[in-house]
Amino acid sequence: MNDPTLSAPARDFYLARQPILDRKQALFGYELLFRSTAAGPANVDTAIAATASVIAHAAQLGLERVIGDALGFIHVDAEVIMSDIFVFMPREKVVLEIMDSLPVTPPVLARITELMHHGFRFALGDVVRDSPDLQKLLLFIDFIKLDLRDIAAADVARLAALFKQGKKKLLAEKVETRDDYTACLGLGFDYFQGFYFATPAIIRGRKLSPSQLAVIELMALVTSDADNVAIERAVKRDVTLGLNLLRLVNSAAIGARYRIDSLSQAINVLGRRQLQRWLQIMLYAEPARAGAGMTPLLALASTRARMLELLAQRLRPGQRSVADVAFTVGIMSLMDTLFGIDMQEILAQIPVIDEVADALLRRSGFFGELLHLAECIERMEEKDSLVAPALRQLALSTDALVELEVAAFEWTDNVVRFAI
């Protein structure tokens, strides 16, 4: 077996991770999507080449840094399957996703069998109908992915029932609305991929919860330069906030040299800048307190915020206040979804500078350009053609972009877990 010929240099690509959720809305995995800058929009051949390039240079990229504790679903074709690049992949962390159009030849089936014996799992995507070739592949498949955009609702129901009989795990792809999610939940789907969880559902008269109000009150104290005694008093009024603050400052993420047992010490060690950042993250953490772990909205918001901060640091070096504003823009950009309140109304309750408002409401200005780039990457399959122009506008290379993306993913998975 030989490695596939790779048309793209090892770092001549950018990537996105799309969350896969279980029936309880907890993170289960990520589909990793790669695009070569030499490719046209959604060019599958060059996307596969970029995937193979990433795998072959996994030591440089650090796949575990991208997916954290979750599973990573990665597209592979026959050429990649027949190669020797899998030695670079953490088999317990990876699901190899093949397409229904994969040539079902004896050598390919033999290689899939070999990889299964080495501990790899397989998902089958682009399934639109039953067929003899599909039946041959099903013997090797753990996950079946059905794309809601490509299959009529009646066929989704029929195929779901068929595959459930075969004890396969069903994954609904392109789940973009709550109605999509509810319908697939009723059909017995096990996992869900799409951005329905990040779509605002504005509810008139919606009120913030007591915990969210407590966090916003604290944010107001921190940003108004209130003294530490007032901040400590406010933290003590919410037991969960106090416990989480102590947990955070005693975590490996902060790296305190000695154990901290008092809230006053914790506030001093963390500092105002980090305290404000932690409070912004805590707004998204409330739904996770029931024991489900990091929610997808928390992961998306914190990753977006860190990504914008790192971009600002790279593009405006030495201007820490600019990086801080970029983080705030990223974390606030999903608050309309979090609260179920229109963004204009949120900004009336949480005063921000004009540059932040312009970015959040109109995606304009420097911070708006950063936010636009992050959103295009997140929704790579729909907005792939917009990424290259956004990079040119910011004079940012793909090499720098991937470096910052991986750092943002790693920061979210390592730091945010200590915030909840």
Q: What is the pTM of this model?
A: 0.86
383: closest CA among 6, 16, 3? 16
At 353, list the tokens. Answer: 């500078």
Burial 32-49 (b: 16+ CB within 10 A, else e): bbbbbbebeeeeeebbbb
Q: Is 66 helix (H, G, I), strand (E, B) or coil?
A: helix
Cα–Cα distance between 298 and 65 in angstroms, integer?
18
Residues 319-361 have pLDDT tens digits of: 888 999 999 999 999 999 998 989 998 888 787 899 999 999 9
- Rounded mean pLDDT of 95-113? 91
Q: Which of 26-35, 80-89, 386-395 has the highest mean pLDDT?
A: 386-395
What amino acid occupies position 294? M
d(CA 123, CA 188): 17
Bridge partners (DSSP) listed for residue 15: 34
Instruction: Determine contact, residues 121/146, Cβ cutoff 8 Å.
Output: no
Please provide the average confidence, as pLDDT, over all residues in the chain.
84
Give the residue among 171, 36, 38, 24 at the shortest CA–CA distance from 97.
171
> What sign does the dihedral 292-402-44-383 (CA atoms) show?
positive
Q: Which CATH architecture has domain 13-197?
A: Alpha-Beta Barrel (3.20)
Q: Summarize the confidence of residues 280-300 as an average pLDDT.
A: 72
Residue range(s) of every CATH 1.10.3210.10 domain in the chain: 200-420
Q: Which amino acid is at 120?
A: F
CA–CA gap between residue 94 and residue 73 (Å, rounded)? 6
Task: Name the band, by pLDDT with cuts 50, 70 and 90, for residue 418.
Answer: low
How far apart CA 56 and CA 25 sit, in angstroms, is: 33
What is the bridge-based pairing of β-strands 169-173 and 143-147? Answer: parallel
Specify the pLDDT at position 67.
Answer: 87
Which top CATH class is 200-420?
mainly alpha
Of residues 266, 260, 303, the one with CA closest to residue 281: 303
Range of 121-125, 207-211, 234-238, 251-255 with top mean pLDDT = 121-125
The pLDDT score that the predictor gives to residue 131 is 82
**Residue 125: how many CB atoms within 10 A of its CB?**
20
